[in-house]
Structure 1
Amino acid sequence: MTSQELRFSLAERTPQGIKSTGDSGESVSIQDEKKVKSILDTIHNTKVEDHHGKTDWILLGYSGPDLKSLKLLGHGSGGLSELRSQPFPEDSVAYALLRVVDKIDDVMTTRFNYITWVGEKVNAVMNARIGVKKTAVTRVIGHYSVETLVSNKSELSDENILGRVQDASGSRSKVKEYKPPSKPQSTSPGGTDSTVFSYVPKGQGDQLRVQDDQAARDVIKSVRHGTGGLNWAMLTYSSPSCLVLSAKGTRGLSEVRSALRDNEPAYVFLSMDQTVDSTTMRRFIYIRWIPDGLPNLKKGKLTPHRGFVEDWLAPYHLNINAVNSEDISDKAVSEKLDVLKG
């Protein structure tokens, strides 16, 4: 695999047909389908050396309140600053895909940030339906490196959007122990040796917490260091606004699959070893488990929690959005990790 082929870490999904059905059976269609598909192909397939001057972002929104059809709101080659200048709807939802160039071990590579915009004036009914439609929309968007949830223009800052790409890139030798910063810090452009940002979607920070926060963080720290053979830990909901560290173990991915429930969302932090050029590397994986069997209304209520959980568990090399055990089979996870080898 060449350095240019290392374009995405597998939270990513390969592009599917432009009409896509979500896990709930609901689907979305695309207005001006050929044009949208062409733009997405350009964003995904432009090589790093051809990045400048080529289309690097697209913005899609719903054509009506029924959320059945997406339309093109804009596209361009001016990067994040141009995307940020677009008229994002305050009372609706929009989806953007942004291609950026990142520097990983002194090699330039293309990365993709999948941005979900939930306007601050979105009503409760629409907010609940976002999660129902999300899988279908994600299949339209195609593969991506990181996903970011935002609700206002201030959250479309370079620090938030580009910084998240750099944080997710990681490297074999520069994965840091997570220490919550007292305030947001800057990231050097193009580097991966960066501080993790504390990002919580506006209005959500006081609605979700982790019970016995420091004790739970200590368990995650033990997973990072392999203390006592510990290699995974799981957060589940003790109430709609509180997470609890409910399980941990030493037997890896198979034990994680046994601990997950078909009717209960969970967030897993997993450590796995990977051999790269005869050297064993420790990889950290974040699994967001939102099972198929979960009621659609409950799925929708979980969407605003994504930013909080991502940052609480950061940093990690790989993000997997799983809806069934096949998404986290040994083979599936191994294939995802292989992309990180470079």
Structure 2
Amino acid sequence: MVQLEGDISAAYEDVRNDKTDTNWLLLEYADDKSDVLRLSATGTGGLDEFKGKLKDDQPAFGFLRITIGNDELSKRAKFVLVSWCGPQVKVMRKAKLSVHIADVKSVIKNFAVEIAAGSKEDLREGEINLLLKKAMGANYDRSV
């Protein structure tokens, strides 16, 4: 079982709140041997800023608010949960991620899409938007 540290719940609610500019959060392990996840960063710069915080040798979990839609009537905020396991993460830590995601989901409960990413290429904006549109159900712009 992973231990969640800091005010993760407040950061989660901040990302979910359409009235704030905060659109992502990042949870990282306190150290290499610990099973303590802490809130390490939040931001307003979207997916690109979030990806800039990911480290190749450290696993992490992220939560993002992404607005999709072509016009005012179809614009919607949708949420993405990211499990990050960079290419240089140690084997034992990789093994624990699949177990720890359940504890993360006890706080981060509402999301449209879950992505397991092993490289930053797995987090392309166009592909994430496509997944979110498919998760929305009705699609009136016929681009998907």
Output the TM-score relative to the length of structure 1: 0.37
| SS of alignment partner, residue 229 of structure 1 | coil
| SS of alignment partner, residue 315 of structure 1 | coil
Which residue of 2 is the match for residue 307 of structure 1?
102
Q: Return the structure number with greater relative CO, CA threshold 8 A, min gap 6.
A: 2
The question of 1:242 aligning with 2:36 is answered yes
- 1:255-334 to structure 2, matched below 5 A, reads 255-275=49-69, 278-334=73-129
Q: What percent of counterpart residues are identical?
A: 26
Q: Is the Cα contact below 8 Å between 1:267 and 1:289 reproduced in 2?
A: yes
- 1:161-172 to structure 2, matched below 5 A, reads none
In the alignment of these two chains, the number of paired residues is: 134
Alpha carbon RMSD of aligned pairs, Å? 1.7
| 5+ long unaligned stretches in structure 2 | 138-144
Structure 1: which 4+ aligned runs deviate by more than 6 Å? Answer: none
Q: Is the Cα contact below 8 Å between 1:223 and 1:231 reproduced in 2?
A: yes
Once the two structures are TM-superposed, the CA of residue 227 in structure 1 deviates from its matched residue by 4.4
| 5+ long unaligned stretches in structure 1 | 1-203
Which residue of 2 is the match for residue 223 of structure 1?
15
Question: What are the superposed Cα offsets for residues 153-192 of structure 1, whole Å, 9 maximum, x if unpaired?
Answer: xxxxxxxxxxxxxxxxxxxxxxxxxxxxxxxxxxxxxxxx
Output the TM-score relative to the length of structure 2: 0.85
Distance 1:227 1:265, change over 3 A: farther
Higher Rg:
1
- 1:56-95 to structure 2, matched below 5 A, reads none
**CA distance in 1 between partners of 2:19 and 2:36 (Å):** 26
Question: What are the superposed Cα offsets for residues 106-125 of structure 1, whole Å, 9 maximum, x if unpaired?
Answer: xxxxxxxxxxxxxxxxxxxx
Q: Is the Cα contact below 8 Å between 2:28 and 2:40 reproduced in 1?
A: yes
One-letter identity of the residue aligned with 1:341: M
One-letter identity of the residue aligned with 2:131: K
